Chain A
Amino acid sequence: MKNKGFTFTLVVAALMLATGLVYYLIYNGTNYLSMQAVYALIGGAILSVLLGLVLGRFAPALQFGAVTVALCFYVYYIYFFVSSAIYGIQYSGLPFEFFVNAACYVVMFLASIINCFVPHTAKEQ
C-alpha cells in the first residue's frame, strides 16, 4: 500500500531530477558543472523511487544521502566562482542564474529533510 510518504518521496525525486536538469542546463560547458552531482541526483532519484516501491521507509535516507553528496559536489565546483565574484578586483554581483540554481538546491535539500520525517509505513502513520 502506497502512502503519502511515498508520494513525498516521488516529489523529492522530481525535485532532484529538476535540480539536476536546471544545474546541467545552466552550467553545461563551464567549469562549474559537477557531473558527479548530476549523477548523484539522477541516480539517487531513480533508486529512491525503486526503493520506495519495495522498502519505502529507506527511500528518504537514500534521497537525503544523495542530495547531500550532490550538494557537496555542487559547492565544491561553484565556490571558486563565488569567491572570485565577491573578492575579485571589482564586485559586480552574482548573475540571476546562480540564484535560480542555488534556490533549486536549497528547496530540494529542505524537501529531502522533511521527507525523512514524513511517515512512510503504516506503523509510522
Chain B
Amino acid sequence: MKVFRKILTMLSFFLSAVLVTGSVIANENAPQINGFLNLETYKLEEVEGADTKLEDTLYYTSDFATIGEVREHAVSVAESVVVEGTVLLKNENGTLPLAKGSKVSLVGAGAYDPVYGGTGSGGISGAKQVKYNESLEAAGLVVNPTITERYLSEDWAQYKRGSSGSFGTTRFLINEVPWTVLSEATGSTFAEYGDAAIFVVSRRGGEGYDLNGDCDGIDNNDGLGPDYLGLNENEWSIFNGLKEKKAAGEIKKIIVVVNFSSMIEGDFIKDEAVDAAIWAGAPGAGNHLFGQILVGEYNPSGRLPDTMFMDNAKNPTNVNFGWWVYPNTEELGVSTFLGTGQYPEITLGSYMVYQEGMYMGYRYTETRYEDLVLGTQNVGSYNYDEVVAYPFGYGLSYSDFELSNAKVTKTGDREYTVSVTVTNKADSKLPGKFSVPVWISKPYGDYAKKNGIQVPSVELIDFGKTEILQPGQSETLEIKLDEKFFASYDAEEAKGYVLMGGDYYVCVGGSAHEATNNLLMAKKANGVTIDEGKMIGSGDASLVTKFSIDYNKTKYQMSDQVSSTDGTYHVVTNLFDEADINRYSGRGTNHVDYYSRDNWAAVSLDMVNGHPQLVMTEQMAYEVYAQVPDQTGVYNAPPHTPDKYVQPIPTDDVAYPTMGKDAGLQLIDMMYDSEGQPIDMFDPVWDTFLDQLTWEDLMSLCSNGFHLTVAAPSVGKPSTRDENGPNGWTRFNYTSRQNGLFYLYEKEKGNVDAEGALITDKVDQNGIAQTRGEAMSAGFPSNGLLAATFNKKVAYAVGNAIGNEGVWAGWSGIYGTGLNIHRSAYLGRTSEYFSEDGTLSGLMGAEWSRGCEEKGVHVYNKHCALNDLESCRHGVQVWLPEQALREIYLRAFELPITMGGAYNTMASFSRFGTYSGAACEALAKHFLRGECGMKGVIVTDYYGDMNGNQNVDPYFEQVYGTYVGGSDIPDGNQPAGNEQNGVPNHFAKYATGYGKMAWAMRDSAKRLCYQTLWSNAMNGVSSNTRVVQITPWWQTMLQGLQIGFIALFALCALWTIVAMIKEKKAA
C-alpha cells in the first residue's frame, strides 16, 4: 500500500506538472492547434425561431454540384496549363512529334523523379504525380526497359537529386549517374531503343533558399562558383555520351527536356547534335500529358516567360543578385549578428541594389542588341548569340502559323486596337493554338536622357491567344491596348507618368527578339540608320505600326482607381524616393550609376566584386530601429537595441474614437442598404458600425492573423480561414467550416446534430470520401508554366478552380498568387512566381485573382514587393530607381488589383530602402490603397521570422505596421488581450494616450470587417445569425485533466501526511 501510495503521489504530481506546462504551451499555440484540428473558436447560431432560407444566404456559390465535379474540373484546368504552357524550344527536321510506337531511351535522374513544383509554401503533393517514363508509355511510346529498371533500382537511388543542410546553408546535389556507369549497365540497349534518346534535366527550388549556393555543379571560374543551373560533370558525361551514340548511328535523335520552373543555362541545347528541346516547367498534376505532347496529341503553344541565357555569367543582373553587409554597421552600433536558427541572415544591416533598374532580362538583352545594330556609342563588347540561348517569349509549334493583316489603330482617347489574322497554314499536320504578344517601343530621346528615364527597346504590353485552329483555319484576334502603358515613369522632372514626345512603335507578334528585329526594320523604313550585318535573324516591318505622340505629363497624372483611404482619385507622384539610394534623403555619400543606354560598356559582369559598395548612414540606422519601437522581439531582445536608436511610438493628445457603443448593427447589415444596393465603404453607417467595437475587439482583430482573421462576436463578424499557396491550396478540409457550401448543403438535408457537427455517416460520401487525409487541391503547375501559356483564360480558370474549391470548404482567403519577379534564374522560389516581366505577371495575376475573387475567396497576392531573392529576404534593404519599381516590380501587383479586383496583399520580408514591406506607408497607404484602390487588408509575411522567433534579429513589430498603416495583421498571433501567462497583448499599452494608434487600429478593423463582409465567410449568415464564442474541446479537456490531477495530487499528499502521522504515533 505504501508503494502504491508513493507511485500514485509521484504520478499525480508529475502529470499535474506536465499538464500545467502542456496547457500553457497549448494555449500559446491555440490558433495553430485549432487550425491543425480544424476547430473553430466561434460558431454561427441562428436566433431561436428564425426561419432563414439557405438560398437567401448564399452570397457566393459554386459552378459545380458536387465536390467530385470541382476536383475533376480542377484537374482538367491543371492539365490545360501543361498543354498550353509547355514550350517547344527546338525541333530540327520535324523530330517532334514522335510517332506512336517509337522506341526511345529515356535518361536523366529527373525522368524518374521529376520536379512537380517547388518546396515550402509553393509545395504540392507529389504522391499522385506521374513520372516521365510512365507518361511516355501511356502515350504509346516504347521506353527502354533496361534503363528504366536501372534508374528505378535501389543501387541507383544514390544518383537522385538531393540536398543537405537547410536554408542558407543548403547544399544542392544534382548527382546524376555518370555515363560510364550508365553505359556499362545499359549501353548495348540504346541501339534497340534508338529512335530517340530523351535526356531529362531537372532542377528544383523553393522557399527559404536561392540556387547560387554550394552545390555539385561545375565551377567555371566565372565568379558564379559551382553552378546549379549548368550541367554538372555527370550530366555532361551523359550528354557527350549520347552525342557519341548518335554519331555512331545507334541513336537517331537527341531530345532534351528541361524540367524546372525557371531557366537553366541553354548552351548545351544549342549544340547541333540536339534535335529537339522542350521546356516543361514544373508540371504539377499535369505531367501525364507530357507523353501526349511528345506524340502530337497536343501541340505545344507556350512561350518562354523568361530569357534563357547561354551562360548566367553573361547576365549582369546576377552581379547584383545576393546580399551584402554595410561595412560600417558595427561602428554605428547596428547588429550584424548572423541568426542562429533556420536563417543565418543579417536583418538590420544588409543590402542589395537593383543596379540594372529597368534593364533586366529581355529588357537588357534586346536593348543592348538594338543599340549594337543602331551603332549607338559605348555599346561595348556584346555578342547576342553568346548571351541569349532563347529569348523571352520564344516558342515553336508543331504547326506552321503566319500572321497577316496586322493593324494597330487608335480607337479611343487612350485605346488602341490591335487586329491581326493568325493562320494555321494548310500544310501543317496538326491543329494548334497560337499566342500573339504585343510590344511597345517608346522613344529614347533627349527628355529621357536628361531625366534618367530608362527606355528598353521593346516591352510587352499585352497579348492574345487563338482558340485551336485546324490546318488552313484562321482567326482574327483583336487586342485592346491602354495608352497608359505607353507612358514612362519620370521620377526626376514630372514626378509622374509621362508620355515622352516622339515615335512609339507597336510591334505585333513574336518573341522579344523577333519584335526587336521587326522594330529595327520599321525604324529603317522610317529613315533610321541600322547595320543589318549585325542583326541576328530578320525582321518584318509590316508587323509594326508607328505613332507619333506629343509630350504629355498630365494625361496620366491621376490614378484610375478611387482610393480606398478617402474615396478620391489621387495624383500619381513620387512615392519611393526613399527607396532609390540616389534620391534617399539619408544617402550621405552613397551613389549608384544605374545602367544606361548611353554607356553599356560600363555594365559589369564581375560576379564577385561588380556590385555597388554602399555604407550605412545614421539615418538608415534610425529608420531600421524605428520599426521595433516596443522592443518586444523574441531573439536578441532588449537591451539589444542601442539606447540612441530606441524610438517608442510617441504619445499624443488625439481623442480616441468612440468604442463599445452598441447600435444593434451586425456585419451582415453592412452588405446592402434598404434599397438593396451595396453599401459603399465610405458610407457614414460604417462609422456607426465601427463605434460598436470595444478596445478589446480592436486589439484582438489587429493582433491575430495566422492564416485567419479573427471573429468579432459583438458585431457578428465571423472568422475567416486563409491558407497557402500560389499553386493551389496546400491543405484544408472540405468539411471544416460552417460557411462552406459542403456544410451548408448537408445542414439543409438535416445532416448536422444539435451541436452543429456533421453527422458523418449520413453526409454525401462523394464529398467526405474525397476529403479524408488527402491533399485537397489539384496541385497546379508552377506559375512560370502558367505564364508560358500567354493565355489569360487559362489563368482565370486556375484562379476560378481554386476559388470553387475554397467556397465548398468555406475558406475565404488564399496566400497567393505569387507575383514577385524572376529577376534571376537563381531565385529559389520561381515555381510560385510567373515571369521576369511585370506586365505578363500582372496580367496573368489579374485573371487568376479575378477567378478566385468571384467565389468569395480573397487573394493575398504576395510578397509585395521586392522579395525577389530568398537568401537574406528577412530585412534586406533593396535600393532601386522608382521607374523600375513601378513599371516592373509593382506592376505585377498593381494589375491584379486594378484589373482583377484583388482584395488583399501579403507584404514582403524585404525592405523598400530601409522600410520593410509591412512598415512601408508609401507602399500600403499611398500606392496599394491610394493609387490602386485596394480594398482589403495587408498581412505581414510569417511574423515569427520578423519578431525574432526564428532566431534572427527582430526587425518589425506589428504595432508599428498598424500605426503607420503599413499592414493590418501579422501572419502570426500575439499574446491574447486577456494577459495570458503574464504577457499582455502588444497593443494593450496603447489604451490611453495614443489616439493616433487607436484610429489606425480602427482603420485596420474596418478593412478586416469589410473584406470579411465581401467574402464567402458570410455564406449562411443572415440578420438572424449570431457569432458565438466556443471553447475547443481540447482546451476543456486540458482544464479538466489539470484540475483532476492536481486534486489527486493534493489527496495523495494529504494521504501521505496522514500516514506519516499514524506511523509516528505507532512508533
Residues of A within 8 A of B (CB): 30-31, 64-65, 68-69, 71-73, 75-76, 79-81, 84-85, 88-92, 113, 116-117
Top 7 A-B pairs, shortest CB-CB distance = A92-B166, A72-B21, A89-B208, A89-B120, A72-B17, A68-B17, A89-B207
B6-14, B288-296, B757-765, B780-788: which lies at the interface: B6-14
Least CB distance, B788 to chain A, in whole angstroms: 26
Q: Which residue of B lies closest to A124 (CB)?
A: B2
B18 within 8 A of A: yes
B341 within 8 A of A: yes
Contact check, A89 vs B10: say whether CB atoms are below 8 A apart: no
Tell me the residues in window 297-336 of chain B with beta carbons closer than 8 Å to chain A beta carbons: none
Q: A65 contacts which of B13, B24, B206, B951 (Cβ < 8 Å)?
A: B13
Q: B21 contacts which of A75, A81, A85, A89 (Cβ < 8 Å)?
A: A75
Q: Which residue of B lies closest to A71 (CB)?
A: B17
Contact check, B340 vs A116: say whether CB atoms are below 8 A apart: no
B167 within 8 A of A: yes
B1034 within 8 A of A: no
Contact A68 to B13, CB < 8 A, known contacts A76-B25, A84-B949: yes
Contact A116 to B10, CB < 8 A, known contacts A69-B17, A72-B20: yes
Contact check, A116 vs B950: say whether CB atoms are below 8 A apart: no
B982 within 8 A of A: no
Contact check, A84 vs B342: say whether CB atoms are below 8 A apart: yes
B165 within 8 A of A: yes
Contact check, B949 vs A68: say whether CB atoms are below 8 A apart: no
CA distance A73 to B25 in the complex (A): 11
Q: Which residues of A contact B166 (CB under 8 A)?
A: 88, 90-92
CA distance A68 to B24 in the complex (A): 16
CA distance A81 to B951 in the complex (A): 9
Q: Which residues of A contact B120 (CB under 8 A)?
A: 89-90
Q: Which residues of B contact A92 (CB under 8 A)?
A: 164-166
Q: Which residues of B contact A73 (CB under 8 A)?
A: 21
B768 within 8 A of A: no
Contact check, A79 vs B949: say whether CB atoms are below 8 A apart: no
CA distance A85 to B25 in the complex (A): 17
CA distance A121 to B24 in the complex (A): 39
Q: Which residues of B contact A88 (CB under 8 A)?
A: 166, 342, 950
Q: Which residues of A contact B206 (CB under 8 A)?
A: 89-90
Least CB distance, A30 to chain B, in whole angstroms: 7
Q: Which residues of A contact B17 (CB under 8 A)?
A: 68-69, 71-72
Residues of B within 8 A of A (CB): 3, 6, 10, 13-14, 17-18, 20-21, 24-25, 119-121, 164-167, 170, 206-209, 340-342, 634-635, 944, 949-951
Q: Which residue of B lies closest to A64 (CB)?
A: B10
Q: Which residues of A contact B6 (CB under 8 A)?
A: 116-117
Q: Which residues of A contact B340 (CB under 8 A)?
A: 30
Q: Which residues of A contact B14 (CB under 8 A)?
A: 68
- 8 A-B pairs in the complex with CB atoms less than 8 angstroms apart: A69-B17, A72-B17, A84-B341, A84-B950, A89-B119, A89-B120, A90-B166, A90-B206
Q: Which residues of B contact A84 (CB under 8 A)?
A: 341-342, 944, 949-950
Contact check, B949 vs A72: say whether CB atoms are below 8 A apart: no
Contact check, A72 vs B18: say whether CB atoms are below 8 A apart: yes
Q: How many A-B residue pairs have CB under 8 A?
A: 62
CA distance A69 to B14 in the complex (A): 9
Least CB distance, A89 to chain B, in whole angstroms: 5
CA distance A117 to B5 in the complex (A): 12
Given contacts A31-B951, A75-B25, 5 further A-B contacts (CB under 8 A): A76-B24, A89-B206, A90-B166, A90-B209, A90-B342
Could you say which of B164, B634, B950 has the most chain A C-beta atoms within 10 Å of its C-beta? B950
Least CB distance, B999 to chain A, in whole angstroms: 34
Contact check, B635 vs A90: say whether CB atoms are below 8 A apart: no
Least CB distance, A67 to chain B, in whole angstroms: 10
Q: Which residues of A contact B635 (CB under 8 A)?
A: 31
Least CB distance, A83 to chain B, in whole angstroms: 8
CA distance A90 to B341 in the complex (A): 12
CA distance A21 to B950 in the complex (A): 25
Contact A31 to B342, CB < 8 A, known contacts A90-B166, A113-B10: no
Q: Which residue of B lies closest to A84 (CB)?
A: B950
Least CB distance, B634 to chain A, in whole angstroms: 6
Least CB distance, A113 to chain B, in whole angstroms: 7
Q: Which residues of A contact B121 (CB under 8 A)?
A: 89
Q: Which residues of A contact B950 (CB under 8 A)?
A: 84, 88
Least CB distance, B875 to chain A, in whole angstroms: 17
Q: Which residue of B lies closest to A91 (CB)?
A: B166
Least CB distance, A110 to chain B, in whole angstroms: 12
Contact check, A90 vs B119: say whether CB atoms are below 8 A apart: yes
CA distance A85 to B286 in the complex (A): 32
Q: Which residues of B contact A64 (CB under 8 A)?
A: 10, 13
Contact check, B25 vs A79: say whether CB atoms are below 8 A apart: yes
Could you say which of B10, B24, B342, B951 has the most chain A C-beta atoms within 10 Å of its C-beta? B10
CA distance A89 to B118 in the complex (A): 11
Q: Which residues of B contact A91 (CB under 8 A)?
A: 166
Q: Which residues of A contact B207 (CB under 8 A)?
A: 89-90
Least CB distance, B960 to chain A, in whole angstroms: 22
Contact check, A89 vs B342: say whether CB atoms are below 8 A apart: yes
Q: Which residue of A lies closest to B942 (CB)?
A: A89
CA distance A30 to B636 in the complex (A): 8
CA distance A84 to B339 in the complex (A): 14
Q: Which residues of A contact B341 (CB under 8 A)?
A: 81, 84
CA distance A64 to B12 in the complex (A): 12
Contact check, B119 vs A80: say whether CB atoms are below 8 A apart: no
Q: Which residue of B lies closest to A109 (CB)?
A: B14
CA distance A88 to B121 in the complex (A): 11
CA distance A79 to B23 in the complex (A): 13
CA distance A72 to B170 in the complex (A): 33
Q: Which residues of B contact A113 (CB under 8 A)?
A: 10
Least CB distance, A23 to chain B, in whole angstroms: 16
Q: B208 contacts which of A69, A75, A90 (Cβ < 8 Å)?
A: A90
Q: Which residues of A contact B170 (CB under 8 A)?
A: 90
CA distance A115 to B120 in the complex (A): 47
CA distance A69 to B16 in the complex (A): 11
Q: Which residue of A lies closest to B165 (CB)?
A: A92
Q: Which residues of A contact B10 (CB under 8 A)?
A: 64, 113, 116
CA distance A87 to B98 in the complex (A): 45
Least CB distance, B296 to chain A, in whole angstroms: 39
Q: Which residues of A contact B342 (CB under 8 A)?
A: 84-85, 88-90
Contact check, A89 vs B951: say whether CB atoms are below 8 A apart: no
Q: Which residue of B lies closest to A88 (CB)?
A: B342
Q: Which residues of B contact A31 (CB under 8 A)?
A: 634-635, 951
CA distance A58 to B310 in the complex (A): 78
CA distance A65 to B14 in the complex (A): 8
Contact check, A90 vs B167: say whether CB atoms are below 8 A apart: yes
CA distance A71 to B24 in the complex (A): 14
Q: Which residue of B lies closest to A80 (CB)?
A: B949
Q: Which residues of B contact A89 (CB under 8 A)?
A: 119-121, 167, 206-208, 342
CA distance A63 to B944 in the complex (A): 37
Contact check, B21 vs A76: say whether CB atoms are below 8 A apart: yes
CA distance A116 to B209 in the complex (A): 51
CA distance A30 to B948 in the complex (A): 11
Q: Which residue of B lies closest to A30 (CB)?
A: B340
Could you say which of A71, A73, A75, A89 has the most chain B C-beta atoms within 10 Å of its C-beta? A89
Could you say which of B6, B14, B340 has the most chain A C-beta atoms within 10 Å of its C-beta? B14
CA distance A4 to B164 in the complex (A): 50
Least CB distance, A24 to chain B, in whole angstroms: 17
Least CB distance, B68 to chain A, in whole angstroms: 31
Q: Which residue of B lies closest to A92 (CB)?
A: B166
Q: Which residues of B contact A85 (CB under 8 A)?
A: 342
Q: Which residue of B lies closest to A65 (CB)?
A: B13
Least CB distance, A105 to chain B, in whole angstroms: 14
Q: Which residue of A lies closest to B25 (CB)?
A: A79
Q: Which residue of B lies closest to A75 (CB)?
A: B21
Q: Which residues of A contact B13 (CB under 8 A)?
A: 64-65, 68
CA distance A26 to B120 in the complex (A): 30
Least CB distance, A59 to chain B, in whole angstroms: 14
Q: Which residues of A contact B949 (CB under 8 A)?
A: 80, 84
CA distance A76 to B17 in the complex (A): 11
